[in-house]
Structure 1
Amino acid sequence: MDSIVYRIEESNLGNSHEAYCPELLITGFGDTAEKAKKALRREIGIYLEDCEGLGILDEVLIEAGFYDDDEVWMSSLVTPPKEPEIRFV
């Protein structure tokens, strides 16, 4: 499976934390923000592995708004980093 870049939105729910991936509509919960993000990554990994096993991964990612830039699947909601400027002095 290629690398996949997606957005994570975080929020507090009283004493617990939530991490949400809006592109894939998957949520992770935890006692801390880090645990919620870890749970989210685990859930996304399981989901994407299942999609790959069914042979529908590319279709699912495209439908969710991702595009393949030949290196990674990039979410259309994520702004890719700019290429570094190289200057010779």
Structure 2
Amino acid sequence: MVSIEFDMIVFKENDTYVAYCPELDISSCGKSVEHAKEMLKTAVRLFIEESEKMGTLEDILEEANYKKDSSGKWLPPRLVATELVST
């Protein structure tokens, strides 16, 4: 299985913690921050495994702006800032 890096954002919705990967638009949830993070890692791993089986992983990663380095490792786009903004 291809190993990739990804950003993880965790927020709380009522009593549930939601972990979100913006690069791949995948989320999962849990009863604690750590549980939500582990569940997201599992969701991303399963997504990668299934995408590899279907032969679509490379297209998906390229569309998500991942780049392959000279060694063949996929490098993620980097989240550079987050902030709470009001209008």
TM tier relative to shorter chain: 0.7 to 0.9
* Counterpart residue number, 1:40: 40
Q: How many residues align?
A: 79
* Counterpart residue number, 2:51: 51
Question: What is the TM-score of this pair, normalised by structure 1?
Answer: 0.79
* Counterpart residue number, 1:5: 5
Moved over 4 A (4+): none
The alignment-based identity, stated in percent, is 30
- Cα deviation, residue 74, structure 1: 1.6
Q: Any stretches of 5+ residues in structure 1 without a counterpart?
A: 80-89
Q: Does 1:65 align with 2:34?
A: no
Identify which of structures 1 and 2 has the higher relative contact order when contacts are C-alpha pairs closer than 8 Å and 6+ apart: 1
The one-letter amino acid of 2:76's match is: S
State the distance in 1 between where 2:33 and 2:79 align.
20
Question: What is the TM-score of this pair, normalised by structure 2?
Answer: 0.81
CA RMSD between the two structures? 1.5
What secondary structure sits across from 2:24 in the alignment?
coil
* Counterpart residue number, 1:74: 75
CA contact (8 A) 1:3 1:71 kept: no
Note the alpha carbon deviations across 1:34-89, whole angstroms, 9 max, x for none.
Answer: 1101111111111111110011111111111111122531211257xxxxxxxxxx
The one-letter amino acid of 2:7's match is: R
Q: Which structure has the larger Rg over C-alpha atoms?
A: 1
